[in-house]
Structure 1
Amino acid sequence: MTARTPPLPLAEAQARLLALAPTIPVEWRDVMQTAGHYLAEPLHARRNQPAAPLSAMDGFAMRAADLPGPWRLIGESAAGHPFVGTLGTGEAVRISTGAVVPPDADMVLLKEDSAIDGSTLHLDGTAPDPTERHIRPRGMDFGEGAAILPRGWRIDAAAIGLALAAGHERLPVHRPIRLTVIDGGDELAAPGIVPGLHQIPASNGPMLAALAARLPVVATRIGPVPDTLDALIAAFEAARDADVIVTSGGASVGDHDLIRPALTAMGADIAFWRVGIKPGKPLLVARRGDQVILGLPGNPASAWVTGFLFMLPLLRAALGATEPLPRAIMVPLATPMGKGGSRMEFLRAHWDGATVTLDRLQDSGALSPLARSNALIVRAAGAAPAPAGSPVPVHLTGID
């Protein structure tokens, strides 16, 4: 793989990277500690929900066969306090939302469709149609043994609620990934050091670690690492226990780009190098045993875009996600766009909920467009000019 080797198409590069995803052990965690993880096994319900028929409204429970009434009120069923007697012909009980419907009842008459005279209840409106309309049947949400979430499902707040309702206190997930982020370059000034005119603050490492923090990851940062072979090899050796190493800078072909020589010196296998995208062409992927090493470009926009397109999908795949790649949606352009370049482009843009606007500054060394943007416009190589209103594929970068 030399500089003359054609860059890989994006889809092929992503597929080859995901095939290298490390195997992360499975552990059982308290449900409340699983947000952001992916299920390592399918989830089945251990109970019925609801366990008994419940009223969906405030009103009165009765037998539909007794319509049109009247009925004699003999008690009440409240949420958490079911009616314990027997409901006979011409009898009804007051019932609240979420309360158990008495076994002999098959209809709930709404409070606003009724009138009470002493202990006698009268129909004063319209009976429900169908008569069981306001009753949530046993197992309406899910039945015992039902498959409720598949393997690889990302656990969010709703999934946590579902797991608990289904009778689960612990869930099987992959342990958090051990990630090491290495910043390299003589031009980088460490945090707390005022940079000289020849330096810039080391920002890529913290940025990439923050990007990875969307997922169950324990991130360690190393650097800035000087542009020497010995320093880089020492940094890689310090990260031997990491599942994934991500570097920023040094993956190209310049005299001071030493990531490839360092990896080769350590006996790592270079899986591929260079991808046909802009920004982010000089991307490198290697493997050392079970450890995956992802060499990202040093320009901040290039590092962020390749982190979004490669680092996050790799981490998701290792954590068990069945759909680790980001999805694009079609969004209308707010302003026209010119012809596409020679490579597939990922353009920083802002989505306002209806349209997407290309940022005026697209230089790969600029951070301000990243901070202003919440979307990436995907532009195919050689794409024709697009007028305002044209739908274009967009990655919403603020949404996982």
Structure 2
Amino acid sequence: MALLPIAEAQARLLALAGRTPVDRVPLTQAIGRWAAEPVVARRTQPESDLSAMDGYAIRFADLPGPWRVIGESAAGKAFVGAAATGEAVRIFTGAPLPADTDTVLVQEEALRDGEALHLTGEGPAHRGRNTRKRGLDFAEGDVLIAAGERLTPARIALAAVAGHAELWVHRRVRVAIAATGDELVPPGAPIGPSQLPESNRILLAAQLADLPVDLVDLGILPDDLDALTAAFAAVEADLLITSGGASVGDHDLVRPALEAAGATIDFWRIALRPGKPMMAGRRGDMVVLGLPGNPVSVFVTAILFAKPMIAHLAGAAAPFPVPHLVLLGEDLPANGARTDYIRAVLVDGRAHPAAIQDSSMLRTLARSTCLIVREPHAAAADAFELVEILDIA
């Protein structure tokens, strides 16, 4: 069976499901989710011309003065009335400019004696100096956040200033996670002969922590076809993620169990290292992802497939990670037929690959800060060549 290229596998994965239904939620619950519809400004910001400095609101045409101070304008307490020729209004940062003024003389260049005000410095260089014009940030009706954009803290604040208390987002994604293998025991439990502490569920939970997910932990499932089939058939979720049992050995029962539970496998075996035996399909409306058992393979396939699938379900317009270019820290040999994701450390802008790349080595992964992306059949690369990386820390 030919191995599926990563880009094709990613496209086929997203084609398995659409978005979750939409909800309207308060801004505090929208953080980290994706906008389900464009966020349009309900007001203009600022609503009037404002002062950008502490000083005096004047007419630029009245320079170089002197002026008579006729009042004060502060944020939340605007000056009522208009300034005539030769008049100035004491003003503070963020306060509305009084009618018929257009410029702010900063207080460091002004000398005031009672109501009399004199210029002591060079003064403002042009009309409108030290002011913020009406609509400088945005105008009513502007599209501020596109559908499919992530609602970052800055975008949440933007929506609030634009007049929104709630936003339309896609429902949180319900994700079920299971580990499979007779050799696995819970973390911290006594270890018997040939046993291993299970780490993939906690690894996945940590990787998905910044996504809008509700996790269902199915625990550690045995290498038993009937038990696996029953567990998979009972799952109610948007996405089921398994780890282990995805290859072709006598004890690799995840695929037959998924099929016995009513799932249809769309693809299996990807031109990827680490993570070749990953599979994907559907059972009813639920997407299923069968990840390999080695923890580094789980980590990489989660970055490339599990997290993007969740982001897609949650409404992301661009769910896949985007690599960027850095200098290579040392030579790399030519690559084989699979895309390789090499654990590396980024130091002073140069990516240094770990000496050993075995997919079971969590210590190496824990020390890594990026993955060097090596395309299939890439030629040998010398130190100081540009390479693509994905940041992981």
Q: TM-score, normalised by structure 2?
A: 0.97
Deviations 1:19-50 (A, max 9, x none): 11343110011001111100000000001101
Query: SS in structure 2 opposite 1:338?
Result: coil
Query: SS in structure 1 opposite 2:281?
Result: strand
Output the CA distance in 1 between the equivalents of 2:88 and 2:130: 15
Match of 1:350 among 327, 340, 345: 345
Match of 1:273 among 262, 268, 287: 268
* 1:350, distance to aligned residue in structure 2 (A): 1.7
Residues 22 and 292, structure 1, Cα contact 8 Å, conserved in 2: no
Residues 81 and 99, structure 2, Cα contact 8 Å, conserved in 1: no
Match of 2:201 in 1: 205
Q: Are 2:250 and 1:250 equivalent residues in the alignment?
A: no
Match of 1:324 among 304, 313, 319: 319
Counterpart residue type for residue 290 of structure 1: D
Output the CA distance in 2 between the equivalents of 1:296 and 1:22: 21
Q: Are 2:376 and 1:390 equivalent residues in the alignment?
A: no
Output the CA distance in 2 between the equivalents of 1:174 and 1:295: 25
* 1:184, distance to aligned residue in structure 2 (A): 0.1
Output the CA distance in 1 between the equivalents of 2:262 and 2:18: 18
Match of 1:111 in 2: 107
Match of 1:181 among 156, 177, 183: 177
Match of 2:52 among 40, 53, 56: 56
Deviations 1:192-214 (A, max 9, x none): 42121301101001111211122
Match of 2:64 in 1: 68
Counterpart residue type for residue 385 of structure 1: A
Match of 2:258 among 252, 257, 263: 263
Q: Are 2:78 and 1:78 equivalent residues in the alignment?
A: no
Deviations 1:111-154 (A, max 9, x none): 12222233211122223232202111111101111110100110
Query: SS in structure 2 opposite 1:280?
Result: coil
User: Taking structure 1 as reference, are residues 262 and 216 closer, same or farther at Cα in structure 2, changes over 3 Å only?
Assistant: same
| 4+ aligned runs moved over 4 Å, structure 1 | none
1:165-244 pair list within 5 angstroms = 165-239=161-235, 241-244=236-239
Match of 2:129 in 1: 133
Residues 184 and 249, structure 1, Cα contact 8 Å, conserved in 2: yes
Runs of at least 5 residues in structure 2 that lack an aligned partner in the other structure: none
Q: Percent identity?
A: 51
Q: Are 2:5 and 1:15 equivalent residues in the alignment?
A: no
Match of 1:161 in 2: 157
Q: Are 2:358 and 1:363 equivalent residues in the alignment?
A: yes
User: Taking structure 1 as reference, are residues 303 and 162 closer, same or farther at Cα in structure 2, changes over 3 Å only?
Assistant: same
Residues 16 and 281, structure 2, Cα contact 8 Å, conserved in 1: no
Q: TM-score, normalised by structure 1?
A: 0.96
Output the CA distance in 1 between the equivalents of 2:158 and 2:379: 47
Output the CA distance in 2 between the equivalents of 1:56 and 1:21: 50
Query: SS in structure 1 opposite 2:320?
Result: coil
Query: SS in structure 1 opposite 2:139?
Result: coil
Residues 49 and 138, structure 1, Cα contact 8 Å, conserved in 2: yes
Query: SS in structure 1 opposite 2:69?
Result: strand
Runs of at least 5 residues in structure 1 that lack an aligned partner in the other structure: none
Q: CA RMSD in A?
A: 1.2
Match of 2:283 among 283, 288, 292: 288
Output the CA distance in 2 between the equivalents of 1:352 and 1:26: 43
Residues 58 and 101, structure 2, Cα contact 8 Å, conserved in 1: yes
* 1:71, distance to aligned residue in structure 2 (A): 0.4
Match of 2:31 among 28, 32, 35: 35
Residues 45 and 148, structure 1, Cα contact 8 Å, conserved in 2: yes
